[in-house]
Amino acid sequence: MSANYEVKGSIAVITLNNPPVNGLGHATRSGIFEGLKKALADKSVKAIVITGAGKAFSGGADIKEFNTPKSSAEPTLHTVIAALEAAEKPVVAAVHSVAMGGGLELALGCHYRVASPKAQIALPEVKLGLLPGAGGTQRLPRLVGLETALNMIVSGNPVPSEKLAGTKLFDQMIEGELMTGALAFAAKVADQRPLPRVRDIKIDYPNHEAFFQFARNSVGAVAKNFPAPRKCVDCVAAAASMKFEDGLRFERENFMTLVQTTESKALRHFFFAERAASKIPDVPEDTPKRPVNSAAIVGAGTMGGGIAMNFANAGIPVTLLEMKQEALAKGLATIRRNYENTMKRGRLKPEQVEQRMGLITGTLSYGDIKNADIAIEAVFEDMTVKETVFKTLDATMKTGAIIATNTSTLDVNKIAAFTKRPQDVIGTHFFSPANVMKLLEIVRGANTAKDVLATTMALAKKLNKTGVVSGVCDGFIGNRMIEQYSRQAGFLLEEGCLPEQVDQAIERFGFAMGPFRMIDMAGNDIGWAIRKRRYVEQPEMKYSKTADLLCEMGRYGQKTSAGWYDYKPGDRKPYPSQLVNDMIVKHSKDIGVERRKIPDQEIVERLVYALVNEAAYLLEEGIAQRASDVDMVYLTGYGFPLHRGGPMFYADTVGLFNVVTAMEKYARGRHGDFWKPAPLLARLAAEGKTFN
């Protein structure tokens, strides 16, 4: 049983003991329950203290038992809380460090609570698309007031215990040693009768209906696609208007409804996918890592500058290397401007700007970077330029330094082979803007050493990125998939869509940005260069010509104020372009395709299933380690809607059989070969299985 029991004088002490955060798994709940029974049966015990061992009072549900029968086995958290509340001897929760979710609900079921300062107090269930389901929405408002409780429950954010010191939540704040204070408090209240119960507190808030109406409006506006925040408001409102038992039942019903929603399942999937992404089957977590206390970036352009900012933000000194003084000065000035813009928005203090700039040094000489622990190359996307840079890095960098490339399309193994130390070479594929985007694809070369991989994964965390491992292939995980999505977007134009219809359909589905707005931002010339290469290397791969025609018109996107859309100087808003739309319609005519009205559902299916099918190939080839890694790439790097859980999770919710059936339908149209299901997808669909 994961709770200890001991008696100190006349006080029984139950200590939750389930590292790392005393999650309320079955054994822990049983331990509390049995401890309580023992204490109640022991005549010499006058009061009971409940606390947590180690780093937490309790972090809430035990994630190891999520979705297992143990999570709902008796005694459930409800049973334990009901028993605590009904106990005939005073029960005191001694809260420290962390009391979150079910952990806080447990404390709310006690008669008294004492706390150390600086404990993180939260009901974070909303972050998983849920609500506190063990009385939290009913008890917390009775102790801290409707407004504070509502804020905590709807945001899920932690509040330090000392900020709640003036409320009924804590009967006493204990500055010194917590257990000494808690035992003294328990002795003081040992003979107190009747015992105070949170459920008996009346909520007195005049005109609460008006308050909740206001809350519903403001929460609805920010919750967008997620139902949980609105349900949280409903439950807190129930605390104010219903009898306690009815409110508890209402909370339970809403909790059960939310557990079943796709949105909550998607958020829970994200939670687990993020943890899974950091695991590499043949690289154990205890693999020794190389120190990374200094960094060098080669190339101070768009990406190099952003990457350097990541290091400075993490407090790691970084040297930026360029070939010419002008380019270096320009790169450093852009970084400063970015920081100053953040400062103007109030998110950095002037001294922080200087402190970060102070960590970034410019140089034109490799001699100045030779001792860096890691060098990341971000020069032009050209193999001959990369060759020169990697040969020079090989000749200058100290032994053991990690040498990384930010290439988006070139072969990392070839780049590694320019050096005599391919084991030290790895791909770090940042996304633009590199100082903002969460995703970092970590490209494992054929010879990349395990400790280099482990170090780079750990570095991702330090830089506040989500690292996802990819094997070497053209485009890695994200861009290889997006190419198929872009091809479909092009075919849709030929068959009857205009850019804004495609963009709007997929944005209504929830994407941050449709394909044409996205390409206009990235630059149409980049795709053009890739297609030119493809026309030679893979002539069987068909593309719509519209994108080439667009580039021939000199419309490269936002940078030329003209792309799929028109742009006004200094304004990123896209305006439909008559010129482009005429070009698209004419092109359909030229290739003999009769344009038709294409429903939004078809647009969404064709774009999303194009991603899914390519990802199935990636999984089969071992480029992606697991389906949830693909989801992480799309959720953190490509604006895939979070409430849908990523392309693979989404396909699972649609049902893979249905996905394949839709693909068969589209195969009867143009480019039928595009829709041949990848073997893995076909197999899973036939077996009634899922990706995740």
Ligand X SMILES: NC(=O)c1ccc[n+]([C@@H]2O[C@H](COP(=O)([O-])OP(=O)(O)OC[C@H]3O[C@@H](n4cnc5c(N)ncnc54)[C@H](O)[C@@H]3O)[C@@H](O)[C@H]2O)c1
CB of 301 to ligand X, least distance (A): 2
Nearest to 90 by CA among 197, 239, 227, 212: 197
| Between 63 and 522, CB nearer to ligand X | 522
- According to CB under 6 A, which one of 389, 397, 468, 550 is a site residue for ligand X? 389
- According to CB under 6 A, which one of 3, 300, 397, 619 is a site residue for ligand X? 300
Query: Is residue 379 close enough to count as binding ligand X by CB under 6 A?
Result: yes
CB of 584 to ligand X, least distance (A): 26
Applying CB under 6 A, the span of 246-254, 300-308, 456-464, 564-572 interacting with ligand X comes to 300-308
- Cα separation values, 210 from 207, 229, 274, Å: 6, 18, 40
Beta strands in 406-526 (DSSP E): 425-430, 439-443, 466-470
User: Contact 437/458 with Cβ under 8 angstroms?
Assistant: no
Position with the least CB separation from ligand X: 301
- According to CB under 6 A, which one of 243, 349, 380, 661 is a site residue for ligand X? 380
**Strand order in 318-321's β-sheet?**
360-363, 318-321, 295-298, 374-377, 402-405, 425-430, 439-443, 466-470
| Between 58 and 406, CB nearer to ligand X | 406
Query: Is residue 123 close enough to count as binding ligand X by CB under 6 A?
Result: no
User: Contact 371/393 with Cβ under 8 angstroms?
Assistant: no
The Cα 444–Cα 604 span in angstroms is 32
CB of 329 to ligand X, least distance (A): 11
Query: Can you read off the two tokens belonging to residue 646?
Result: 């990523």
Cα torsion 674, 678, 679, 683: sign: negative
Applying CB under 6 A, the span of 93-101, 138-146, 297-305, 491-499 interacting with ligand X comes to 297-305
CB of 429 to ligand X, least distance (A): 6
Q: Which residues are within 8 A (CB) of 219 and not within 5 positions of it... i.e. 6 or more apart? A: 154, 229, 230, 232, 233
- According to CB under 6 A, which one of 298, 477, 489, 498 is a site residue for ligand X? 298
Query: Is residue 397 close enough to count as binding ligand X by CB under 6 A?
Result: no
Query: Is residue 180 close enough to count as binding ligand X by CB under 6 A?
Result: no
| Between 298 and 656, CB nearer to ligand X | 298
Applying CB under 6 A, the span of 54-62, 235-243, 299-307, 509-517 interacting with ligand X comes to 299-307
CB of 167 to ligand X, least distance (A): 49
Nearest to 149 by CA among 209, 239, 85, 228: 239
CB of 311 to ligand X, least distance (A): 16
Q: What's phi and psi for 597, nearest 5 deg? A: -80, 120
Active-site positions?
105, 125
Query: Can you read off the two tokens belonging to residue 190?
Result: 């040992």
Q: Which helix (H) or strand (E) holds 13?
A: strand 11-16
CB of 415 to ligand X, least distance (A): 10
Query: Is residue 299 close enough to count as binding ligand X by CB under 6 A?
Result: yes
- Cα separation values, 74 from 39, 55, 105, Å: 20, 26, 17
Applying CB under 6 A, the span of 244-252, 426-434, 541-549, 617-625 interacting with ligand X comes to 426-434
H-only helix segments in 314-382: 325-344, 350-358
Query: Is residue 73 close enough to count as binding ligand X by CB under 6 A?
Result: no
| Between 230 and 330, CB nearer to ligand X | 330
The per-residue DSSP string of 623-674 comes to: SBS-HHHHHHHHHHHS---GGGT-HHHHHHHH-HHHHHHHHHHHHTSSSGGG
Applying CB under 6 A, the span of 20-28, 56-64, 159-167, 301-309 interacting with ligand X comes to 301-309
- According to CB under 6 A, which one of 248, 318, 378, 678 is a site residue for ligand X? 378
CB of 465 to ligand X, least distance (A): 13
| Between 408 and 628, CB nearer to ligand X | 408
- Cα separation values, 689 from 134, 564, 609, 681, Å: 33, 40, 17, 9
The site map against ligand X for 429-458 (x = CB under 6 A) is xx-x--------------------------
Q: What's phi and psi for 92, nearest 5 deg? A: -115, 125
Q: Is 249 exposed, middle or buried (0-12, 13-18, 19+ CB in 10 A)?
A: middle
The site map against ligand X for 496-535 (x = CB under 6 A) is --------------------------x-------------
Amino acid at site 451: D
| Between 208 and 480, CB nearer to ligand X | 480
The Cα 5–Cα 50 span in angstroms is 10
| Between 322 and 629, CB nearer to ligand X | 322
Applying CB under 6 A, the span of 65-73, 92-100, 302-310, 576-584 interacting with ligand X comes to 302-310
CB of 339 to ligand X, least distance (A): 18
- According to CB under 6 A, which one of 301, 317, 496, 639 is a site residue for ligand X? 301
Applying CB under 6 A, the span of 22-30, 283-291, 372-380, 637-645 interacting with ligand X comes to 372-380
CA 100 to chain centroid? 20
Angle, alpha carbons 274-277-279 (nearest 5°): 125
Q: What's phi and psi for 500, nearest 5 deg? A: -65, -30
Q: Treating both helix axes as pointing N-terminal to C-terminal, what angle do 679-686 and 656-667 enclose, rounded to 10 degrees?
A: 130
| Between 526 and 598, CB nearer to ligand X | 526
User: Contact 245/200 with Cβ under 8 angstroms?
Assistant: no
Nearest to 76 by CA among 128, 13, 124, 133: 133
Query: Can you read off the two tokens belonging to residue 23?
Result: 């999650």
CB of 296 to ligand X, least distance (A): 11
- According to CB under 6 A, which one of 407, 470, 544, 546 is a site residue for ligand X? 407
| Between 385 and 436, CB nearer to ligand X | 385
Amino acid at site 273: A
CB of 377 to ligand X, least distance (A): 8
Query: Is residue 637 close enough to count as binding ligand X by CB under 6 A?
Result: no
Query: Is residue 49 close enough to count as binding ligand X by CB under 6 A?
Result: no
Touching ligand X, residues 308-337 (CB under 6 A): 321-323, 327
| Between 115 and 375, CB nearer to ligand X | 375
Applying CB under 6 A, the span of 1-9, 86-94, 424-432, 589-597 interacting with ligand X comes to 424-432
Which stretches of the chain bind ligand X, using CB under 6 A? 298-304, 321-323, 327, 378-381, 385, 388-389, 406-408, 429-430, 432, 522
